[in-house]
Structure 1
Amino acid sequence: MTIIHISLRLCLCFLILTFPHFNSSLTQSDTYIVHMDLSAMRKAFSSHHSWYLATLSSISDTTHDRSDSLPSSKLVYAYSNAINGFSAFLSSSELKAIKNSPGYLSSIKDMTVNVDTTHSYQFLGLNNNHGASPASNYGQDVIIGVVDSGVWPESKSFDDDGMTEIPSRWKGECQSGAKFNSSMCNKKLIGARYFNKGLLAKNPNLTISMNSARDTDGHGTHTSSTAAGNYVVGASFFGYAPGTARGMAPKARVAMYKALWDEGLFLSDILAAIDQAIIDGVDVSYPYHLA
């Protein structure tokens, strides 16, 4: 009996000592956004995506027999326009190895962000009677990409009355999802997509309440209608201040990229949304120093 008790105590001590170490090795993994130098990609790779997968394969931590050690499981997003690079779920040792890989420029840990709203007209210095607004015919055929909490397509601000045909340069889509289908887009709301791989990488067991481009918060609907809402006659607040509501560029198009969720807001999802918006054909102005 004494020998058995001693053996059990030794086993328990071993478990107590080793379990925290094992647990810490798992919790050290996190999502990182990695910036790569595309000029360093070898000609053997058919695309930047295959290069990123090969890079992840070369540094994968094989100390644990887990499905997320596969390169395709580690890759969260591949970016090709906003930046050249990718986001991936990496252990501390894998991150260290990435930093020694050909083409590595920099990396940051994925982070949560906060939503802000400001007084747009005053902030941009716009005037309804002269300047950029009338000169551009109030944004006619400009494609505005909004990265936010989604959109409520039934809002009168997104009616397409008076809108011309969608510009041929537009390559985006209206992505179906929970309580949102492709028929909800029109000549005003010309595109809608959603991005949450970064959120789910951090919270793999999370159930998203509204997995689509539909807005459950109101922020995205508010900001996009402020930017480019169509004319809404007879708008009021329970009868107060009646009049016509409109956005700053009522003749512009809106493309919504939902990357802000009730469950969390992550930089990797926002970057993926911006990257896709550029691919789709959202109008992007030149930086002042290039204009």
Structure 2
Amino acid sequence: MPKRRHRDPWPSEVHIVYMGDRPKDVLLGEPQHRSMLEQVIGSRVSESLVHSYQRSFNGFAANLSDEEAMEISRMSQVVSVFPSKVRQLHTTRSWNFVGFPVNARRASYESDVIIGMLDTGIWPESDSFSDEGFGPPPTKWKGTCQSSSNFTCNK
């Protein structure tokens, strides 16, 4: 007779618990996150906590059941709780990729800001880097393109 597998009565997935702006006192970040988790899941905090965010915003990622995520979402310090999703890299045109409407209010300085750079090892000539439809680089931009015989620069 085959062994019966133990089924977790509270299946979990990674959830992001967003608590707003980053903590003013960085020392309070992770201890506060651990304390909140402990109130909901007890002693399993070390197994559940995936990451404590403290540099760009205040929050944490943790393995939680839907019921646990709902309980944490009711805490006064929590803005929102949502399942973490793995995304595939698609484009450098982030505004459209994220799905913001064309007529959404946008900051006047956004086109001059580089939020991050991910080194995925993809080739520069990939369609993801197409400059079709882009205007010239901003006049304030001081970068250069260091091209070689096997590399093509774009805007």
- Asked if Structure 1 and Structure 2 have the same fold, meaning a TM-score greater than 0.5 normalized by the shorter chain, the answer is yes
* Distance in structure 1 (CA, Å) of the matches to 2:45 and 2:154: 45
The 3 A distance-change label for structure 1 pair 132 and 87 is same
Q: Higher Cα Rg: structure 1 or 2?
A: 1
Contact kept in structure 2, 1:33 and 1:85, CA below 8 Å: yes
Identify the structure with the greater helix proportion. Answer: 1
**Contact preservation (8 Å) 1:38, 1:48:** no
What TM-score do the two structures reach when normalised by structure 2? 0.58
Residues 1-291 of structure 1 mapped to structure 2, 5 A cutoff: 23=7, 25-26=9-10, 28-37=11-20, 46-60=27-41, 70-117=44-91, 118=128, 120-126=130-136, 132=138, 135-137=140-142, 139=143, 230-232=146-148, 234-235=149-150, 245-246=152-153, 248=155
CA distance in 2, matches of 1:55, 1:25: 22
Deviations, residues 165-196 of structure 1 (Å, cap 9, x unaligned): xxxxxxxxxxxxxxxxxxxxxxxxxxxxxxxx
CA contact (8 A) 1:57 1:70 kept: yes
Give, as a single letter, the amino acid of the residue that structure 1 aligns with 2:35: A
Kindly indicate which of the two structures has a greater share of residues assigned to strand. 1
Deviations 1:197-231 (A, max 9, x none): xxxxxxxxxxxxxxxxxxxxxxxxxxxxxxxx622
The answer as to whether partners of 2:16 and 2:82 remain within 8 angstroms in 1 is yes
The unaligned stretches of length 5 or more in structure 1 are 1-11, 13-18, 62-68, 141-228, 236-243, 249-291
Shift of 1:35: 0.8
Large movers: runs of 4+ above 4 Å: none
SS of alignment partner, residue 78 of structure 1:
strand
Report deviation, 1:111. Answer: 1.5
Unaligned runs of 5+ in 2: 92-127
- Asked whether the equivalents of residues 20 and 57 of structure 2 are also in contact (C-alpha less than 8 Å), the reply is no
SS at structure 1 position matched to 2:63 = strand
CA distance change for structure 1 residues 46 and 116 in 2, over 3 Å: closer, same or farther? closer
For 2:154 and 2:81, how far apart are their aligned partners in 1?
Answer: 38
Supply the AA of the counterpart residue of 1:93.
E
Q: Give the Cα separation in 2 of the matches to 1:91 and 1:110.
A: 12
Flag the 1:29–1:121 CA change in 2: closer, same or farther, 3 A.
same
> CA 1:77 to 1:247, structure 2 compared with 1: closer, same or farther past 3 Å?
farther
TM-score by length of 1: 0.34
Q: For the structure 1 residues 98 and 50, does the alpha-carbon distance in structure 2 shift closer, same or farther, using more than 3 Å as the test?
A: same
Percent identity between matched residues is 20
Q: Rate the CA distance shift 1:82–1:124 in 2: closer, same or farther, 3 A.
A: farther
Cα RMSD after superposing both structures: 3.4
Give a deviation string over 1:42-101, Cα, whole Å, max 9, x none: x9x94211100111111115xxxxxxx521221111122443211100123322221222
